[in-house]
Amino acid sequence: MERMTAPAPASRRVLLAAPRGYCAGVDRAVIAVEKALEQYGAPVYVRHEIVHNKYVVQTLQKKGAIFVEKTEEVPPGNIVMFSAHGVAPVVHEEAARGRLATIDATCPLVTKVHKEAIRYANEDFDILLIGHEGHEEVIGTSGEAPDHITIVDGPDDVAKVEVRDESKVVWLSQTTLSVDETMETVDALKQKFPLLVSPPSDDICYATSNRQAAVKAMGAEADLVVVVGSKNSSNSIRLVEVALDAGARAAHLVDFASEIDEAWLEGVTTVGLTSGASVPEVLVEEVLEWLAQRGFADVEIVKTAEESIVFSLPKELRRDLRTEAAELVAGGAEE
Ligand code: SF4
């Protein structure tokens, strides 16, 4: 763990987690909506919030994105983009029936879990999908093989899990869970099904794990941890839980600096600050400014990992952008 300490020590300080904020999947999805708006003009319909962040959604709405919950809400002949959380195959079918052009902004790390589900279902495994019932990503992954998948929503769910053949069971997971709680669930499942197969690689994504590790590293020292993120953001909610488990006296989730309650600062000398994977840095900067105005001007970065992952844009957009570039080049050559 690397620490960059501000020069003047002070009794009041902020521990700023790194990494925090945007992950590669969110960055790609948000840029995809912006590029689609530039490329095709408004409106661009997006099924479900492109990422679970109020500020991002409001900003894209102002630029001309229209967010819908159901595919049928999109008028025929329009473009619909699927969010970073992924969709079930039935949603692609709905779009085809509604004569919609689609852009799939599903995070490649979610797509990886979909492919695992398809593969194990084809091999006739029972798949125990650890995740939160009703979460968009879990709905999408389950939809790949509904007859083979059972959702396990934490260790307390294990007792009621039943399978057809105990020698053919595999567990997969949602990408944005608590690493520790998921391992607890897996241990409980292994107790019940000793032959349980594990996925070939981690389903909890690098961004979720890294953000939790950074919060763990500073949680014990923090009197208060502020997590910037929306209430429907799974990975942001997990950061609050991880901070408390790591020893923080209090932890709160806020969308904006204006939601911080001054009373939370009573008796506090060290504030931990982080943000979920769908949160733009501008919102963290606003919280830093809010804290500085209240005497928390010294900021110490608690860095536990470097991140350099970048995903290319959805293939439908890349294709159209290439075509447009080719037309521009051809047009330029004719002039
Ligand atoms: S949190 Fe992980 S799985 Fe979700 S969009 Fe980001 S990188 Fe992808």
Give residue for tokens 């994504």.
Answer: 205
pLDDT of residue 2: 62
Q: What value does the mean pLDDT of the chain take?
A: 94
Where helices occur in the chain by DSSP H, the ranges are 24-40, 54-63, 89-97, 108-122, 136-142, 179-192, 206-219, 234-245, 281-292, 315-334
CB 129 within 8 A of CB 107: no
Q: How far apart are CA 87 and CA 137, in angstroms?
A: 7
**Does 239 contact ligand 1 (Cβ within 6 A)?**
no
Q: pLDDT tier at 1 (50, 70, 90 boundaries)?
A: low
Beta bridge partners, 270, equal: 13
Q: Is the CB of 277 under 6 A from ligand 1?
A: yes
Strand partners of residue 324:
none
Q: Taking phi first (over 0 means left), then psi (-120 to 50 degrees means alpha), and beta for anything else, what does residue 309 get?
A: beta
- 137 as an active site residue: the answer is yes
Sign of the four-CA dihedral 318, 21, 143, 200: positive
Query: What's the predicted TM-score (pTM) here?
Result: 0.93
Q: How does DSSP classify residue 312?
A: P
**Alpha helix (H) ranges present in 176-293?**
179-192, 206-219, 234-245, 281-292
Which is nearest to 28 in space by CA: 83, 67, 89, 100?
83
Candidate of 51, 106, 110, 179 to mutate for ligand 1, largest count of ligand atoms within 8 Å of Cβ:
110
Neighbours of 111 (CB within 10 A): 15
Model confidence pLDDT, tens digit, residues 275-284: 999 999 999 9
Residue type, 267: G
Give first-to-last CA distance, the chain, whole Å.
57
The packing angle between helices 179-192 and 234-245, to 10°, is 90
What pLDDT does 321 receive? 75
User: What is d(CA 182, CA 32) in angstroms, rounded to the nearest whole number?
Assistant: 31
What was the pLDDT predicted at 5?
A: 56
Distance CA 195, CA 166 (A): 7
The three-class DSSP label of residue 103 is strand
Q: Write out pLDDT tens, residues 89-128.
A: 999 999 999 999 999 999 999 999 999 999 999 999 999 9
Q: Closest ligand 1 atom, CA of 108? A: 8
The CA distance from 286 to 21, in Å, is 14
Q: State the closest ligand 1 atom to the C-alpha of 25, by its place in the atom list counted from 1.
A: 5
Query: How long is the chain?
Result: 335
Residues 120 and 150 sit within 8 Å (Cβ to Cβ): no
Nearest to 156 by CA among 133, 127, 125, 139: 133
